[in-house]
Structure 1
Amino acid sequence: MKKEIIKFQYGNKFIYQEVEELENGNKKVISRTIKGKITNKYDNVKPIYCLFPKEELNLREFFELIVGDRFEQKDFVIEVYNGYEQIKHCSSLEELMRYSKWADHFVPNTFYKWQSRSIENLRCIQWMLFDFELRKSNGQAFTPVEIWEIFRSEIGFMPTFIKESKTPGSYHVALKHTSINGKLESTYLFKRIQKKIADIIGTDDGAIGANHNYSIPKNGKRVFYFGDNTIDFNDLKNWWIGLLKESNKSSKTPRRTGGKVTSITEHLIWNHAAVQALQNQEFEGSRNEAGFTLALLHYALGIDQKETAEYLLEKWFPLVSQEGQKYHLSALKASIRSAYSKKYRGPSKEKIEALTGIEFNIRVFRGQYKRQLRHNKNENQQAIINYLREHKGKVTMVQTDLIKDICKTQKSPLGKKFSIDSIKRNLRGLKKLGFIDWQTKGSGGNTKDKAVEFVLKDGIQSNDGYIIEEDHNVYVYGEKVN
């Protein structure tokens, strides 16, 4: 029976069909393959700074480049067999070469020794890879040098190698950066940067994450090496933050970045998709971080520690995956104790988003008791504070009369009268610092001729219950960046 390949365009993809002609003259589709996304964005790309790769790497040279000195640091490289049902963690180059005969995929970043490619088990991250499946508008594939130029011109960072993938005309493009650890905040930042680059270039946004699988270059697939273009990870971070700030600055609609929202109730918090994902074990990353985050959420919302422990230990923990390194009940108990130690006010927005991959634009924190004792910065300020303490922390009078009465009644340790101008200046200073407050009632902010209530915010101030705020800020390692 006669077979033929038919090529046609569907949407923005080229489709290749293998068809077989039957005896009755009809044609039967045997297989169908999608061969990349069509784009006219780079039709006129011209290599300028790099005209050809430095060399092509064989499999051994490729693995040597990927691993570097990580085997000396007792790290493991994971190879994944066909069907993704079996993995092998390799601790030497010889093992990598031997097991690559049966494995089809591998993870370029390195792990601790247990047999799991969970993101929680990553130790060292130094490779950021992209699935480049784009085709020119005429259906032709890009050359490796053209892809190198696309990355250089679009994002300013150059690939170290470009590897042919299993699909002809598609590639894996690798940026090498200075190593970062596998902690939750680091893997989340890595993923956000990688996603931004993928969006700009147009690569497959499904191939995102430091623990993602990539095909092993076998069966004649080539690896084009362009040199040791190692990028400082801080440069990647600052590039991403710069784009974020520029986007916020040019946004036409002002975005609210904080403020109490009474319409967001505790019920809506518990039903938020991100919180639901944590409760239903639908998260990626440290199981202990997830348990700690849920415990902090319970604490912030004023739930009793005993009730929190009953839920997490008896209902949540038994359903948590024990794949890879065992997650011990004792670790969760310690996290609950830590959450209720009063060292924290509530869960981290950044960690909730990192664990679940779901945007969480809410800040929940526990009201706390604060002690605000003003120590003697100078004699003028102390005189004002002492005066208000003598009047039980609160007086209602005209400001000029208050200043004169302080100068009249308070004794200076220097044996001389206080200056009216100095007391006036320090009264304003204490208000700025938040230790004294008064409400301006005079016209145009004038309090000179009207009686005003002056309050000393000194001693123990109570703020009971919980507070819920909108929070659209972006955080990196706990610090607000926008």
Structure 2
Amino acid sequence: MAQAAVTYEPVSVNLEEVYDVILHNGLTTYKTKHSNAPLPKRVEAAKIDALSKKGAVFVVRSKEDFQTNKVKGYIVTSKETLLEDATDLTHFTPNVYRKFGYSDDSRRMIHGFEERNLLQINTFVVDIDTKKHTVQDILLTCMDFSIGLPTLIVASDRGYQVYFVLKQPLFISNKNDFRGLTVAKRISDNLKRSLRDVDADVFCNDFGFFRLPKVSNIVFALLTNTYSMAELINWSTRYDDNNERPLFVVPTKLSKASVIDSEWFQALIKAVDIRGQKGQIGRNNALFTLALVCYSEGWDKSRTYDFLDEHNYRLLNPLNGSTINSIINSAYSGKYKGASKEYIEALLELYVYNGHSIKVNTGRNGWYKFKKDRKDRIRSHYNEWEQDLVTYITAENNPSEPFIWRTQKEICDAIGISQSTLNQVIKSSRKILKTVSGKGRYSKTGWTTVDLFIQHAMGLLQATKAQYRKQLIQVVQEWTEVIEQFASYGKLMHSLQQLIFNSPTNDQTFAFVESG
């Protein structure tokens, strides 16, 4: 039974020793410029540093620096800089990268933290995104179900991160199609799976950003307890055997490989800043795609809900529970056989760094949307795109006018369709209307459906009738007032005539007038 969250006091550690154990000489000891270390120490350290290739780690100052498709931070190439800046940092990459740089002129956005750019793997880190388990629970689980005690446990805002540090770093190369990286990823996956009893995040990035260990957040440290790759490989092999998993060493091509383990699926579930905006696919599309994968993998609804609920919780702008239920019910309705490759590619490009370079292989001989025979696919394919386009236009429509104004590229990105296919759909469609206003660079393209256009026209007609009726009533009221005024004037004249001609002094009055 899970215990209530407990606040732990940090343990007493020497931070320089911690970084020495984790980084394995992957960085230079001192800064090449403006170092505060004495010259003799710098000279001695430079001799040692020259014996091995050095790389860099990436650091950020706050969790908010992880933005859509980019990360705001800076590059650290020396242990001295890391020690000096540690107080003001929140996250770093404990594993070292060989190439690094900035993607903007102001040198604020960093790039280079792709797995295949790793120079050396120093440690495996397991993320536990809850504090309902105690540190003692985590340690016991490590001993009972995993490889053994960790080297370090770091507290985060909502949980813990467990470090299993290597005795010697694993250097990554492109030999045998990055064989070493493949081995390391399987070890990392097994470590995460072995700690599921304490809610380890099995979908956490294997070698990405983690909490920077500081004196204030280290809650367990046993720096002498490190692991060799041989120990980890032996343990991981036994773990695979016990769980009847295929050998982790370089996987052979399987006709029915699990999509859950694919690069694109793993990349998509790690994207946390998915929100979507006008003209873009967003959270609903992403969660629906993940739900379709779970359905195709044979998961039951409860398992899928737990998975999506956990993923949704990590989003910076999560959806509510009822929406997730609706998405799952739709995915499990039986109308869909699998996720759309075009949608997946669009989601990766929008929300995953370098997502456009990730190959999407659905593993199901090409998934498609509805359960139809192959002989019907060519014709139905365009019907499905047409319906997707109708759904998108209807959702984006503003009642004040029939057209939404989008470029063809914006339409293609929004529904995940190629431009050539879009042109074919428009050419053959009897449901969609397209218009172009203006010329050249000032032109704009309007999109609507026949139904929306008719609704708008009928609305205008009704509005015109209502305005005409209002004006007619106003005219009638105005003329009624005039007529009433004329009627009142006639009555007055009639009274005057009666007064003049029926007066007993009528002759005298005229006589007086004539004599006057």
TM-score interval, smaller chain: 0.3 to 0.5
Larger RCO (CA within 8 A; separation ≥ 6): 1
Structure richer in helix, relative to its length = 2
TM-score of the two chains, using structure 2 as the length reference: 0.36
Relative to the length of structure 1, the TM-score reads: 0.39
